[in-house]
Amino acid sequence: MFGKMFELGSLVKQAHEFGGKVQEMNDKLKQLRIQGSAAGGLVVVDVNGLQEMVSCRIDPTLFQQGDVELLEELIVTATNDAIEESRQQQAESMKSLTDGMNLSNLTETLGKIIPQ
């Protein structure tokens, strides 16, 4: 019984430490800025590392053309470009966060603690 309590305590401690590291990573990702662009930079969108759009710049010449559908497509393209890069950077951050952690026995440990 005490062995299970020790394992649970250890697991809770690891989860708490991991939660703190995740929060720290999210804070850094929120500050990160990634640009996506379309039409050779006529539309530029910035997103943060959490895939939140933080700015959008549109060259004024696009408004003069009056082609709303083109402008909408360029905004979507630039946004998707930035979000894809942001996802890759977020995945790299998560990988570095879990690097060296032995998560393979997590299910086994939980199985010992929580009866099926």
pLDDT, tens digit, 9 for 90 and up, residues 64-110: 999 999 999 999 999 999 999 999 999 888 888 777 665 555 555 55
Evaluate if residue 115 carries a pLDDT over 60: no
- Stretch (H or E) spanning 44: strand 43-47
Determine the Cα–Cα distance for residues 58 and 12; give it in Å rounded to an integer. Answer: 49
Tell me what pLDDT residue 80 has. Answer: 97
pTM of the model: 0.69
pLDDT, tens digit, 9 for 90 and up, residues 14-63: 777 777 888 888 899 999 999 999 999 999 999 999 999 999 999 999 99
